[in-house]
Amino acid sequence: MHWNHWIRQFHRWTSIAFVLAVAASFIALAQEKPLVWVSYAPLPPLVLLVATGLYLFALPYLSRWRGRRDARA
């Protein structure tokens, strides 16, 4: 499997984990005795989403930059 495809798939599945963690956080905090530690559950998927999202955002710019560099050589 191609590297960029793997990162894109990982980003998609991580976004599902993030949404589930946010939903669990809302449910846990809405209880009569809220579990405050559950509010930190979305943070690990969020860090991974930021990292992979920045990479995916930069891909078109990096390929354009590589194309110009190869054309000059």
> By CB neighbour count within 10 A (0-12 exposed, 13-18 middle, 19+ buried), where does 25 fall?
buried
Tens digit of each residue's pLDDT (9 = 90 or more) over 5-41 = 999 999 999 999 999 999 999 999 999 999 889 999 9
Cβ proximity of 48 and 56 under 8 Å = no
With tokens 């946010």, the residue in question is 22
This model's pTM is above 0.95: no
